[in-house]
Chain A
């Protein structure tokens, strides 16, 4: 029953750490815009609205405290993107980091791709813990010695130094997107990756920055006919020829790059027919898919729309195999959420390591987990009030009826300013990273 990635029936979540400023006054640059674990889970990267990337590294498990998995501490911080100005349109290009994707580790250094609305960058993060000393022609401080003063020669040697982590941009992939980039995805061949904006998807080779292949283009000849945009895209985890992209109309198209150079004709289209009982003015807006993620196995994919999470079997296009309601109590409030723009919020979703549980965020700093096997779900909260070390998180409940039970929160009391849009699950263990507006919470499974 128990074990890594086990069902929520037996997993209890504990607070582990929180990163970020404590004050309520949120600096806009500190707003977290993306969270991503690397392939081993040792590194956790966050991007923010100010264009910065912060990488946390997990400390090795200590023998003194076998109950706890290692803590995450800051490993590297760097400015990935700067604000730019588009002279043609007289518009600012935001430096906000939309997505970070790690490359699998090939050598001592780590590599990640980070993107803002227009430009993707490949960053190399490397460690330096030794430095050469004993040059013949240079002093220790770097000044050059007069060769005439050199009387003896010595061989420079490497001496240990304090660990220094350096981040350097190795590639800049620019000028290929007219519209705003919403997704990047690394292919399983580890040589290519895709970048998707509202209307187009481009395929890049990691080594080549001056050209890319356009593989999807949904821009109509007459822009007035535009009714649908691309909202997310991802490569299949095992099949390097397959990718999917989702749309603002609630459809997912799967494409095979072997079929043709331009994948405008999909191989499969996944769409669930609309429930006529739930039809409203907001039906299309809430059907817009904000995130799509393949399961680790590659058999399923998950989509997130405004009110629900859907699991699709890649062999069945007509409807999802599982649907989970994230916050159905908001359905009667759609008009208000439209008025205050919350209906346009884009929530992400993620799988746990063995694809048995899925997680997504909600409002009031709540986040939800759905156990696919045990058919159970839980609502938890990321807040400073529940942040005593190793304190177990208590499940939360939103009351929908007239009578509100003790410890429940009524829908009208929810804080729609506190939204959890970005969450990430460690690829191997039950460790999760949950981003509130400007804080990053790390929760771990309670180990006895």
Chain B
């Protein structure tokens, strides 16, 4: 992200382009024909896969980013998650890792779950997992286990019945990363979008009167907080 007051001109464009170009170059080296990449479907597929890996990595990196004390933009988070899901779908339909298995069952396999926790050691410290960085750096000819685990922890997105027993009411915030920090599993705990106003009302259809009463509750809470803070 562009730092405040930091001037990043075309060099920031260049960096990202270099990564995808380097990936293309690598593919070109291995291409025995040495033909022009645009005409060769296998080469454009490879560079697309490269880009996919890059975007996947960036997605996860951006979703992890956490600015203390400032709420994340819901729009940005939704767009990031949708992009992530799109990539996940594509990886599934590509039969990534050669496993033709439904992602749910992928996660349920014990050996796989072991894998997930082992390959993501830095969860509690909030470090980026080495697993991911190796995925970004290497080409698409990377071994299957790593790509399978990529699908696996993306599969985490859909599965919440495993985490049914975890009480997340304490961790409800609108800020995604702080919810993750409290959860035990990297990268995403139960609620992608912690329900912010569950404390207000369960129903979303509110009349003017019911809205007024929940506004009064909020005001009371504010008032109580002020008293507590002052004392």
Contact = CB atoms under 8 A, between A and B. Distances in A.
Interface in A319-357: 333, 335-342, 344
B174 A335 contact: no
Given A178-B174, A281-B83, A344-B79, 7 more contacts: A176-B211, A198-B75, A335-B16, A336-B12, A338-B55, A340-B13, A412-B13
Interface string B189-231: 0011111110110001110110110010011011001000100
Contacts, number: 157
B74 A198 contact: yes
The range of chain B's interface size is 35 or more
Interface string B64-95: 00000111011110110111001100000000
A417 B86 CA distance: 29
A34 interface: no
Contacts of A158: none
Contact of B4 (A28, A87, A176, A344): A28
Contact of B208 (A91, A212, A219): A212
The 4 closest A-B pairs by CB, nearest first: A223-B193, A336-B16, A412-B10, A87-B225
A180 B75 CA distance: 10
B147 interface: no
Interface in A196-218: 198-199, 210-214, 217
The binding surface of chain A is classed by DSSP as: loop
B9 A416 contact: yes
A414 interface: yes
A228 interface: yes
Contacts of B73: 180, 344
A92 B69 contact: yes
B218 to A, nearest CB: 5
Contacts of B205: 214, 217, 262
Interface string B34-73: 0000000000000000011011001000100000011101
B185 to A, nearest CB: 15
Contact of B86 (A281, A338, A341, A414): A281
Interface string B1-42: 110110111101111110010000000000000000000000
Interface in A270-291: 281-282, 284-285, 288
